[in-house]
Amino acid sequence: MNDCKTWSVSLVALALAACSSADPGSDPTDTTSEPEIESPARSEQGPGADASSAGDSPSHEGRSRGEQGPVTAAFSAADSTAENPPIPDLPDDATRVIGEAEARQVAEEVANLFRPIAASAYGATIEFDPDDWDGTIGRARSSVHAGRIWRITPAGTIFNPYLTRDVMRLLVCHELGHFFGGFPFKPENTPGATVADAGTFLASEGSADYFATKECAWRVWAGDPNNPAFRAVVPRAGREKCDNAWHDQARRDVCYRTLVTALDVLRWIAYPMDSDIHGPRIETPSTEVALVTKTAHPDGQCRLDTMVAGAVCDKPNDLSKIPGLVPSPVTGQYGDHSVAAEQDAAPYACHDGPGARPLCWFKANMPGYVPAACTLPEGGVCAEDGSGYWVCDPIQDRVFTPCSLGCYYDSESQIADCVT
C-alpha cells in the first residue's frame, strides 16, 4: 500500500438544491468525503430523457436539450419584456449534453489553466484518475497525496441530462478550489503539522465554491465570443449584481455566464430527485447566520449565495500562495481554523458587500480552537439505522449528516458517506 497521506472531498461539494425553471432565478492516513444529496422526488424528468435514461451513460453525448433545458432555469417569463426579449440561441457549450469523452476533454482543458502554477509554486501535479469514470457510487472525489499529487476522481454518475460543457467546467473549477482555495480548511486536514508531503490542505466546501466563481470561472471564459449571449438569460437580480460589481462589459458578460451556469449546476445536481418548482434563487439569499464556520456542505441557497458572491468579489487570490496555510499559534498545526490563518487569508476575500462570503456558512473573527477529542473513526461511521453518518469535527466535536437514500461505508477508503 502506498505510504502516503490522503485527504478527499467531493467534486459535488458543489452540490446544490434544484433551481426553478420558471422563476428567476505527512503521517499516512486516508480521509474521504463525498456529497450528500437530500431532496424530495423530482416531479419531472430532464430534457431529452425518459424515466429509464438517468443520464449516467455516455450515450447522452451530443444530445441537445429541449425547452426545459438548464438555461431556462435562469430565465423567467417575467423577464421577457421589450428590454429582455425571449431566450436567444445560446452556445452549444451551455445547452448540449455531453458524455465521457467530451467531459474528459473539458476537465483537462480547465485543469490545464492551473497546472503550470501548481507545478511552479507547489511542485504539484494535477491529475484525473483514468479508470473510475464509470463508477456508480457517489459523483466524484478529490484527494491530495504524498509526492504532491493532486487528484480528481470522477464517477459515471456525473452523467445526466444536465451535464453540459459549461456545467462540467464549473464543477472542475469547484474541485480545483479544494486545492487552491485555502482558509477555511476541511477539518480532516488537521492531523499533520507539515504540508511538505502534500503541498496544500483541502479547502472547505464554501472556500471551494467561492474559488470556483471568483478565481476559476473568469479564467475559463475570458475572451469567449459567446459570453454576450448570456446577457438576456441571467436573472435580473444577477444582472444587477454583475453590473454593479464590474464596469468592463466583457467582465460583466463573464459574470452573467457564471451565474447562469451556477443555476444550471443546481439542476444538474438535483436530477432526478428534486423538484424544479421551489429552489435557491439569486434574489432570495439565505437569512441564516452561522454560529461557527461550516466546513462541510451548507444548504443549496447558501451555496448559491457563495457562488454569486465569488462572481462579484474583486479581491483576487495570489495563486502562488494558499490563503491561510500557516501554522496555528494554538496547536502549531497547519489547516486549523486559527486567528493566524484567517488573518493570512484576509487579503484574498471580500469582507463586506455583495462579494463577502455569506454569513450562512462563514463566521468571521472566530477564535482559534483546540480540536475536540472525538473518538470516532477518521472516516466516520454510519448511523445504525442507515439514516446518515457521523464524523468528527474540531469545532463541534462530531457532526451528523442525514442521508435521504441511506448511508454506505466504503471499506477500501474507510469512509462513511451518503448513497447518491
Longest CA span, the chain: 64
pTM of the model: 0.72
pLDDT value, residue 27: 35
* Cβ neighbours, 10 Å, residue 64: 12
What is the phi/psi pair of residue 71, to 5°? Answer: -65, -25
**Beta-carbon contacts of residue 244 (< 8 Å; ≥ 6 apart):** 312, 354
pLDDT value, residue 130: 78
pLDDT value, residue 223: 96
- What the block records as the C-alpha cell of 324 is 491561510
Q: For the chain, which residues make up each domain, given as ranges?
A: 6-371, 372-420
pLDDT value, residue 66: 39
| DSSP three-state, residue 55 | coil
Q: Tell how strand 149-154 and strand 125-128 pair up.
A: parallel
Evaluate whether 208 touches 216 at the Cβ level (below 8 Å): no
pLDDT value, residue 197: 84
CA dist 374 and 294 (Å) reads 17
pLDDT value, residue 134: 67
Q: Tell how strand 6-10 and strand 381-382 pair up.
A: unpaired
Element (H, E) at 100: helix 100-112
| pLDDT (tens place) for every residue of the chain, 420 residues total | 333 333 333 333 343 333 333 333 333 333 333 333 222 222 233 333 332 222 333 333 444 443 344 544 333 333 333 344 445 678 999 999 999 899 999 999 999 999 999 999 999 999 998 776 766 556 677 788 888 999 998 877 788 898 999 999 999 999 999 999 999 998 765 444 467 888 999 999 999 999 999 999 999 999 999 999 999 999 999 999 999 999 999 999 999 999 999 999 888 877 776 545 467 899 999 999 988 888 888 888 899 999 999 999 999 999 999 999 998 877 777 887 888 899 999 999 999 999 999 999 999 987 654 445 567 787 888 887 788 888 876 555 667 788 877 888 887 778 888 886
CA dist 355 and 312 (Å) reads 5
Read out DSSP for 190-204?
TT-S--TTTSS-PBP
CA dist 139 and 114 (Å) reads 22
CA dist 201 and 41 (Å) reads 36
